[in-house]
Amino acid sequence: MGSMRRSSVRLLIGFLLIRLNWCSAVGDKGAEKVGVAFPVVVSTWPFREAVRAAWKVVSTGEGWGSAVDAVVAGCSACEDLRCDGTVGPGGSPDENGETTLDALVMNGATMEIGAVAAMRYVKDGIKAAKLVMEHSEHTLLVGEKATAFAISMGLPGPTNLSSPESIEKWEKWKQNHCQPNFWKNVDPVGGLCQGYFESDNLLEPIKSNLKVVNRHNHDTISMAVIDKMGHIAVGTSTNGATFKIPGRVGDGPIPGSSSYGDDEVGACGATGDGDIMMRFLPCYQVVESMRQGMDPRDAATDAISRIARKYPDFIGAVFAVNKEGVHAGACHGWTFQYSVRNSSMQDVEVITVYP
């Protein structure tokens, strides 16, 4: 009887040891997988230099760079390069010929967010957003008060954000009778374009020419980074829609619209017609869909289709990346490209997504 008990105990101990070894092997394999996948940098459009700047921060140095610092470096590079003329100073004049900036940064570990909107006279949009996140209890500062805050925190300014190119674009727009534009059913009073919207038929609604949306006049850099520790950050920077009504704020600084990230799930970045997209918070939708079990491709497609059902003519796109680094994109109304770099790649790769 005693020998049978000893045999049973030895059998149980053996089983537990096998179980322990199996669990350790799974754990080692999981860690190896994380090491291969991370860091990860994903950005809207073929903004290769922006992704390289973020990658340099997140993949080198003692202890590696943080996801937040990498996002700021990547978006700052795009601001300096004036990517597509739609990021940073010198592009996208409003109806008065002025360029203003919108930006957002989000820490997916703490869910802290900083953003600026319609910021004048300061060229460093994403850095200003980071200062809001790190040195205030607020989430979003706007207009000249955002400018004053940014300068008080040490950013250069005041600076004229217009450029010869943006002024020339604005002058040609005025010569074209302020077309296209963003007004509808009204004749603006007192503006530069007063009288250009008048209708010959008083019973006919006044309409401007349809606004034109493409990546060169209505675009954004949205970026997501997963650092070596698996922490997630996202950021967005844009100078908004070309010839917008002064004071307009698009989706760029709106959390959950232009970008969103959560360490527990993953991240999303968006680009396109922000006036439409911000009504649906597509990036929040993407992250929450992944939280419920959708893979990145299905989550991205679902978010875009929700908008397209209500606005069949809208133009926009999103990318999605889950916490394991698996990424995908979806678009409507145009062909979309996004850029990726992870530790298995030698350089930035550009993925093309078709509607």
Please confirm, yes or no, whether 352 is among the known catalytic residues.
no
Task: Map out the domains of the chain with their CATH numbers.
Answer: 40-164+211-350 (3.60.20.30)
For residues 118 and 147, give the distance between their C-alpha atoms in angstroms, rounded to a whole number: 9
pLDDT of 7 reads 46
Look at residue 256 and give its three-state secondary structure. coil
Region 217-234: what's the mean pLDDT? Answer: 89
- Catalytic residue selected from 220, 238, 242, 301: 220
Q: What is the mean pLDDT of the chain?
A: 85
pLDDT bucket at 202, cuts 50 / 70 / 90: very low
* C-alpha to C-alpha distances, 65 to 113, 130, 149, 253, 345, nearest whole angstrom: 19, 16, 26, 24, 18
Nearest to 331, CA basis, from 299, 305, 349, 294: 305
pLDDT of 271 reads 96
Share of the chain above pLDDT 90, in %: 72
pLDDT of 13 reads 38
Look at residue 207 and give its three-state secondary structure. strand
The 10s digit of each residue's pLDDT in 273-313 is 999 999 999 999 999 999 999 999 999 999 999 999 999 99
User: Is 320 a residue whose pLDDT tops 50?
Assistant: yes
For residues 63 and 316, the model is more confident at: 316
Please give the model's pTM, rounded to 2 decimal places: 0.84
pLDDT bucket at 15, cuts 50 / 70 / 90: very low
For residues 89 and 188, give the distance between their C-alpha atoms in angstroms, rounded to a whole number: 27
Query: Which residues 6+ apart lie within 8 Å of 328 measured at CB?
Result: 295, 296, 297, 299, 300, 319, 320, 321
For residues 154 and 198, the model is more confident at: 154
Q: Which residues are annotated as a binding site for substrate?
A: 248-251, 271-274
User: Is 12 a residue whose pLDDT tops 70?
Assistant: no
User: Is 20 a residue whose pLDDT tops 70?
Assistant: no
pLDDT bucket at 186, cuts 50 / 70 / 90: confident
pLDDT of 264 reads 98
Share of the chain above pLDDT 70, in %: 79
pLDDT bucket at 349, cuts 50 / 70 / 90: very high
Strand segments (E) across the chain: 40-44, 101-107, 112-119, 140-142, 221-226, 232-238, 259-262, 266-272, 316-322, 327-332, 336-342, 349-353
End-to-end, the C-alpha distance of the chain in Å comes to 73
pLDDT of 220 reads 84
pLDDT of 275 reads 96
pLDDT of 212 reads 53
Q: Which residues are annotated as a binding site?
A: 248-251, 271-274
Query: Which residues 6+ apart lie within 8 Å of 292 measured at CB?
Result: none
Pairing status of strand 140-142 against strand 112-119: parallel
User: Is 203 a residue whose pLDDT tops 70?
Assistant: no
User: Is 199 a residue whose pLDDT tops 60?
Assistant: no
